[in-house]
């Protein structure tokens, strides 16, 4: 594959997954399954409701997440990772593994 296609693919991926929340959101949805908005808000440490809503909208536009609204009182909204979103599983698992090893390395040195 030529370099320009590789660099474009990297750019596209980074634009879609940029920021500190999207990969965390996808990870929660991969491991927790279908989840309500407020439960997702609790799972993603440090994110606010407005930012979570924005990030979920972008993930939905890019067909990585589906949103289901139930006609209850109050309205219930659930989110689920799509089959297409699940295709990111190997990458997210690699990030998890790297993060585990990195923590071991960094915290071992700081002792």
Residue 108's region, left for phi above 0, alpha for psi from -120 to 50, else beta, is: alpha
CATH code, 86: 1.10.10.10
Residue 83 lies in a domain: yes
53-89 confidence digits (pLDDT tens): 999 999 999 999 999 999 999 899 999 999 999 999 9
* Residue 37 forms part of a structural domain: yes
Would 38 be classed as within a structural domain? yes
Q: Which domain holds residue 74?
A: 20-109
Query: How much of the chain exceeds pLDDT 70, in percent?
Result: 96
Query: Could you tell me if residue 98 is inside a domain?
Result: yes
**Sheet strand arrangement including 76-81:** 35-36, 76-81, 65-70
Say how far apart CA 17 and CA 13 lie, in whole Å: 6
**Total tally of structural domains belonging to the chain:** 1
| Contact (CB, 8 A) for 26 and 63 | no
């Amino acid at each position: 594959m030529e370099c320009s296609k590789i660099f474009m693919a990297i750019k596209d991926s980074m634009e879609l997954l940029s920021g500190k929340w999207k990969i965390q959101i996808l990870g929660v949805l991969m491991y927790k399954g279908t989840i309500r908005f407020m439960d997702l808000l609790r799972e993603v440490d440090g994110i606010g409701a407005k930012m979570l809503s924005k990030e979920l909208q972008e993930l939905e536009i890019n067909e990585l997440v589906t949103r289901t609204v139930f006609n209850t009182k109050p309205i219930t909204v659930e989110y689920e990772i799509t089959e297409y979103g699940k295709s990111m599983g190997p990458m997210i698992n690699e990030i998890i593994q790297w993060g585990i090893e990195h923590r071991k390395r960094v915290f071992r040195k700081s002792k």
